[in-house]
Amino acid sequence: AQSVTQPDIHITVSEGASLELRCNYSYGATPYLFWYVQSPGQGLQLLLKYFSGDTLVQGIKGFEAEFKRSQSSFNLRKPSVHWSDAAEYFCAVGAGDYKLSFGAGTTVTVRA
């Protein structure tokens, strides 16, 4: 069975600074990987996804993520954060069946 670890529970970043959120997965084959964002009181919104091909994927809101098979990682990055990026971010892995496994989430706080 697949699983996901997000090592950072909470990250604080200054507005305009870069952001990187870590995600490590456990799965024997090539997984389907997703990053979702959840604003307070809202549902989860898809930021980006990786299925195959180019290991650097671009998403919405200026986010990108890089799939590194050797490190079993799928880290999310943004070069310059905006106050509106304050939210909770979830990494998820799918294995081609019904199950999508989510990490525990990373809360991002943006300070002025």
Partner 1 sequence: NAGVTQTPKFRVLKTGQSMTLLCAQDMNHEYMYWYRQDPGMGLRLIHYSVGEGTTAKGEVPDGYNVSRLKKQNFLLGLESAAPSQTSVYFCASSLVAGNQPQHFGDGTRLSIL
Q: Which of 18, 60, 104, 111 binds partner 1 (CB under 8 A)?
A: 104
C-alpha 46/C-alpha 50 separation (Å) is 12
Asked if residue 30 binds partner 1 (CB under 8 A), the reply is no
96 binds partner 1 (CB under 8 A): yes
How far, CA to CA in Å, does 68 sit from each of 52, 55, 73, 101? 12, 7, 5, 18
CB nearer partner 1, residue 19 or residue 37: 37
Interface with partner 1 (CB under 8 A), residue from 27, 44, 62, 75:
44
Round to whole Å and give the CA distance between 62 and 27: 28
**Distance between alpha carbon 77 and the CA centroid of its chain, in Å?**
8
Q: Which is nearer to partner 1, 74 or 90 (CB)?
A: 90
Return the residue of 28, 29, 54, 98 that touches partner 1, per CB under 8 A: 98
